[in-house]
A = this chain, B = another copy of it.
Amino acid sequence: MVGGVEVESKYRIECSEMEYIEAALRDAGLYLEGERLEVDIYYRHPCRDMLSRDEALRLRVYEDNGGRLTYKGPRMGGGFKAREEVEIELTRVEEARLLLARLGFEETLVVRKRRKYYRGEGVLVTLDNVESLGCFVEVEAEDPGGIEMLESLLKLEDRRVDETYAEMALKNMGRRGDEAHRDREG
């Protein structure tokens, strides 16, 4: 995230392409800022269906038990994803998880991913290997020009996906549910 409003775009890639993309990023002057396992817990609000309002409340847990709690507002439309983000840093996530539970929030789904961050002038590129969902590249920039430049550099045109991991994971759960149903019926 570069400011209070995030301009970003996400692309689906084959996991086998990861190496080539990392080389291209390094050649373009970006540097590997960090790599880690991230576990994202998404919450349901007790009063309103956050998904249908295009909102999200997410607790991100790092390997060292630090993390962050993030609210994402509805997408504002336009070519790139732009939505409000409000985020608080947490030195320990366990208290935050307990506090959310006490306030009645329910954990709806969990997304696990191995994530690498590459940073450059005004841009942040994130490479994700997401459990059950595959591999993705996310590009965040201060302006749409930065995103277009990287899109072209990494040959990502026409591979854009607009769904969030939470939406994909929910769909996946539905599909697995259907398959289990078919298996029982068949």
Contacts and interface: CB of A to CB of B under 8 A. Distances in A.
B102 A73 contact: yes
Interface in A83-99: 84, 86-92, 95-96, 98-99
Contact of A86 (B45, B87, B99): B99
User: How many A residues touch the partner, as a band?
Assistant: 20 to 34
B73 A104 contact: no
Determine chain A's interface SS by DSSP, over half rule. Answer: mixed
A26 B73 CA distance: 52
B69 A99 contact: yes
Contacts of A95: 86-88
A48 interface: yes
A154 to B, nearest CB: 32
A48 B103 CA distance: 9
Interface string A42-58: 00011110000001010
Contacts of A46: 47
Contacts of A88: 90, 92, 95-96, 99
Nearest to A55: B102
B86 A71 contact: no
A73 B104 CA distance: 12
A6 B126 CA distance: 43
Contacts of A71: 99, 102-103
A116 B139 CA distance: 49
A102 B89 contact: no
**Nearest 4 interchain pairs by C-beta:** A47-B47, A86-B99, A88-B95, A71-B102
5 contacts: A45-B104, A71-B99, A86-B102, A87-B95, A88-B92
